[in-house]
Structure 1
Amino acid sequence: MIEQFYARSPVFLQNIYISIYGYYWKRRRYGGCFSEKLKEFKQHENFSEEQWIAYQTFELRKLLIHSYTTVPFYRKKYTEYGFTIQDFENFELEDLQKLPYLEKDELRKYGTTTLLSNKRGKGKFYNSSGSTGTPTQIYFSKKFHQTWSALYELRVRNWAGVNYKLPRAMIGGRRVILSDKPKPPYFRYNKAESQAYFSAYHISDNTAKEYVLGLQKSKATYLVGYAMSIYLLSQSIRKQNLKAPKLKAVLTSSEKLTTTMRTIIENTFQCKVFDAYSGVEACGLISENKKGELLFSPDSGIMEVLDSNGKNLNYGKSGEVVATGFLNYDQPLIRYRIGDSVKLSENQKTFSGSKMLKIDEIEGRIEDVIIGSKGQKMVRFHGIFVGIPSIIMAQVIQKTLNQIEIKLVVENSYETNFEKVMIDRIKSQLGEVLINFSYVNEIEKTTNGKYKAVISNLKNG
């Protein structure tokens, strides 16, 4: 009902609604322990290698004891593996690989029940479909939200020379424009946070001018959002010979940022791009400093980089990320197979002098681009599946300009009337297209053993 009321409202009222929500959101993230945690994380940045080892050992033991005693999922699983509370009181970092993985399907099944601590703070769930289309729900208490916001503020925004108080623009996954016949402006304004929220679903050569005008009108000083969406917008701006406003920084995330993408974005907005990697799961943060170094924050958790046999890789190698988050005690994620990969730097010496783990490349996944009937390009389709928990895994395939196939792996509780929900969501983004559903036992993997959430059979120019 709220979504329908919002969709029928004029733009100025939509901006008011978003500003009211923005006020609540601002207080939730930047109130409470935010300032205290900001100072705490700042003190860690000069840690020596020995101090980081001691810090992580202490935090890991504390997390494991808490999880074993208050989280039914871990109590049951670790007991079955023969662990006792005494084992965790003397646990070492090298012992971590003795623990079983937390699989994505386990998070999906138990994330709202036995994976929650019985001493959790008051909070709410946020949806993350993940790169494979697998819907999961991550629990954020206020304290965890404020702690994570402090880490992001320091290691992402501040490292890029900006802060949350500056006017900013964002290109993200929220569907702020719900009309099936969209028209300018292609953003909505959150006055409470001086934030212009641009649609990721209407970027095209034909709309680029309106996006530039929106950036100018909002007086944004920096831009945040999906790497591919910002890249596609930059391409369209250049094709149309438009002049984008000069920004202080562009902060990218969610998709792999290639060298070509970085160059085009930097030339378009006349500023440096700062890449980062985390996800809604918030169980680890990689971010880029002013020296262009990608560093993993050891106070966000432990990031194992493993080979196909589950063994730690040497520096200079690429491998699977297995994450253990230190900040979320309400829904702990321990040895979580998040599904992405990174390449460790062979030379761990940093220009900045930091002793944080240095990363050469956030490999992640490069998803194909889907083209709409009016030329709009998009890569993010997770919103299609939000609120349909009986979907285990999904894949969007563009056969032709007007034909989309959705492959689904579903549970027995799935109802076919969910198809209409997904069709309406897709058409609101792409316009009139023919949508076919295929129900399969599994989604095929690529040659490197990964899943692709989005595939296009078109040649994207």
Structure 2
Amino acid sequence: MNWFKISLQLNKFPINRAQKLLQEIQDIPEEEFEDYVHNRRKAIVNYHLSHNSYYKDFFGNKEFTDWEEVPVMQKSDLQRPLNDRLSKKYNKKNSYIGKTSGSSGHPFIFAKDRFCHAVTWAEFINRYKWIDIDLNKSLQARFYGIPLDFYGNLTERFKDQVSLRRRFNVFDLSEKKMEEFLIRFKKSEFDYINGYTSAILLFAKYLKKQKIVLKETCPTLKVCIVTSEKLFENDKKLIEATFGIPVFNEYGASEVGLIAFENTDNEWIVNAESLFIEILDDNNRSLPYGEEGRIVITSLYNKAHPMIRYDIGDTGTLAKNSTFKHPVLLNLTGRTNDVARLADGKVVPGLTFYYVTKSIIEDAGSIKEFLIIQTALDKFKIEYVSENILSDGQVQKILAAIETFVGKNLQVEFEKMPILKRNKSGKLKQFTSII
């Protein structure tokens, strides 16, 4: 039974209609695909100019004439109440609502209409078939975090059950936990591994230390998919050697969906069906294939909320042999995270702070930017940009979240900053360890 598709349908995501559209788009001939992209770009801009007052004001209260004149959206532009950004006829009840991870230091709440969200899942189903994974049948070993509050935890575990996912909690990656992970692989017939790069890499290093090849322990394993953080080539080789299976890169973002997926020829194939990806220079001018610049994304089907020329905060390059129908991501800069090592031996991936930020995001977007620095085994500093100094209540909420997701008996210092320091690429890294 197709449990995964059924779960989407029960949540009112029209997956069958989305898969039909995806197939129709993929059937468009190469020579006609540029026209398809131009038409969809124009259609989504005009839709939001007609149905979204926020976007009309952002656009400048003028008509759409030329794509290069469409303003680029920064994450900071979206840090305002969600209700102010929704299109007519859409609300929090009839849309998919999510929160960005804040990995770039700019967290915000977003919306996608249900059909747009279904198209995203249709694309995931399609891409996973490239590597012989069927989301309706294949069992996933999921290296992710999980909400620890009762309702959030229960909801996520239910999703895991219907989606054939078995979660490996990455909040604690000590050797004792790695040993428990290994025992689970001995007892289960997992088809693939999916999760945060840093957590999977730490497990690979543990296996290397133990001189274990994971596929010999779990013969049903086929592939490993890493996401959310940059995978370096040497680390990829280590994971493949210790797991005994090929590793594939997935590049996505919750607010826009699947951006690129690595095929069996080691090419990152960009999602050209429902997204338009362009590389821009510092003056918002489009760069030719082969030149590195800012990755800017347009969601061609999201009617609930404008994601048009949206600067995602990464830099990259499209290969010179890219076309409108088959763009190839040559390289991606950023999305790396350090790990936090605590005095008790606990190892916590930097992306764990994603769950801390989710618990403190406010719809009004009062916290504009933030970063977390580990200065000692038990000391952290949070630098933030905000209109106001954090209240005692906000501080206590953050401290409680850190105690829940990271560890106890930690000293945390807060400092309000006028601006935050960025790296050479201009990206704000959310977590850094200097010990």
TM-score by length of 1: 0.83
Contact 2:378 2:411 in 1 (8 A): yes
Q: Secondary structure at the match of 1:385?
A: helix
Task: Give the corresponding residue for 1:415.
Answer: 391
Pick aligned residue for 2:21 from 21, 24, 40: 40
Separation in 2 of the partners of 1:27 and 1:133?
31
- AA in 1 matched with 2:68: Q
Question: Take 1:172 and 1:206, find their aligned partners in 2: how far apart are those partners?
Answer: 18
2:184 paired with 1:214:
yes
Alpha-carbon separation, structure 1, partners of 2:26 and 2:52? 31
> Helix, strand or coil: the match of 1:174?
coil
The answer as to whether partners of 2:315 and 2:425 remain within 8 angstroms in 1 is no
- Partner letter of residue 103 of structure 2? S
Q: Deviations over 1:73-105 (max 9, x none)?
A: 12223344xx22xx4xxx5xxx32211111211
Which residue number corresponds to residue 306 of structure 2? Answer: 332
8 Å contact 2:337–2:349 — kept in the other structure? no
Deviations 1:202-240 (A, max 9, x none): 113332111122233342211111122211221122223
Corresponding position of 2:341: 371
Which residue of the partner structure matches residue 278 of structure 2?
304
CA contact (8 A) 1:188 1:198 kept: no
Provide the C-alpha distance between the structure 2 equivalents of 1:25 and 1:446, rounded to a whole number of angstroms: 44
Alpha carbons of structure 1 residues 412 and 233: separation in structure 2 relative to 1, 3 Å: same
SS in 2 for 1:267: helix
Could you list the per-position Cα deviations for residues 400-442 of structure 1 after superposition, in whole angstroms to 9, with x for gaps in the alignment?
1111111121233842322122222222323432111111122
Alpha-carbon separation, structure 1, partners of 2:346 and 2:210: 14
Q: 2:97 aligns with which of 111, 122, 125?
A: 125
**Equivalent position of 2:73 in the other structure:** 102
Q: Secondary structure at the match of 2:99?
A: strand
Matched, 1:255 2:232: no
- Aligned position for 1:13: none
SS in 2 for 1:206: helix
What are the Cα deviations for residues 219-266 of structure 1, in whole angstroms up to 9, with x where unaligned?
A: 221111112221122112222333422421111111111101211121
Aligned length: 413
Which residue of structure 2 aligns with residue 151 of structure 1? Answer: 123
Change (3 A) 1:213 1:175: farther
CA-to-partner distance for each residue in 1:5-24, whole Å, 9 max, x for gaps?
A: xxxxxxxxxxxxxxxxx999
Q: Which residue among 387, 391, 394 is the counterpart of 2:367?
A: 391
CA contact (8 A) 2:120 2:257 kept: no
Cα RMSD, aligned residues only: 2.6
Partner of residue 116, structure 1: 86
How far has the Cα of 1:107 moved from its partner? 0.9
Unaligned 5+ segments in structure 2 are 151-155
- Distance (Å, rounded) in 2 between the aligned partners of 1:124 and 1:413: 32
Q: 1:426 aligns with which of 399, 402, 419?
A: 402
Contact 2:143 2:196 in 1 (8 A): yes
Task: Map 1:137-176 to 2 at 5 A.
Answer: 137-155=109-127, 157-165=128-136, 166-175=138-147
Q: Which amino acid counterpart does residue 318 of structure 1 have in structure 2?
A: E
- Alpha-carbon shift at residue 29 of structure 1 (Å): 7.8
Shift of 1:327: 2.5
Match of 1:450 among 421, 427, 430: 427
Please give the secondary structure, in 2, of the residue aligned with 1:162.
coil
Task: Provide the C-alpha distance between the structure 2 equivalents of 1:142 and 1:394, rounded to a whole number of angstroms.
Answer: 31
Preserved CA contact (<8 Å) 2:140 2:194: yes
Deviates more, 1:208-217 or 1:37-46: 37-46
Q: 1:172 deviation in Å?
A: 1.7
TM-score normalised by structure 2 residue count:
0.87
- 1:34-57: CA deviations, max 9, x gaps? 123224323433544322211111
Percent identity between matched residues is: 23
5+ residue gaps, structure 1, are 1-21, 179-186
The CA deviation at 1:177 is 9.1
**C-alpha contact 2:113 2:303 (8 A) present in aligned 1:** no
1:290-341 Cα distance to aligned partner (Å, 9 max, x none): 2221111211221110122222222222110111111311012111111011
Q: Tell me if the contact between 1:196 and 1:218 (Cα under 8 Å) persists in the aligned partners.
A: no
Q: Using a 3 Å threshold, how does the CA distance of structure 1 residues 38 and 29 change in structure 2: closer, same or farther?
A: farther
1:282 aligns with 2:252: no
Does the 8 Å contact 2:98/2:255 carry over to 1?
no
Distance in 2 of aligned mates of 1:24 and 1:394: 38
Question: Cα gap change, 1:431/1:159 in structure 2, threshold over 3 Å: closer, same or farther?
Answer: farther
Whether the 8 Å contact between 2:4 and 2:135 is mirrored in structure 1 is no
**Structure-2 separation of matches of 1:257 and 1:98:** 35
1:405 to 381, 384, 391: 381
CA contact under 8 A between 1:315 and 1:344: conserved in structure 2?
A: yes
SS of 1:133's equivalent in the other structure is coil
Query: Residue 331 and residue 379 in structure 1: after superposition, are their counterparts in 2 closer, same or farther (change >3 A)?
Result: same
Greater relative CO (CA pairs within 8 A, separation 6+): 2
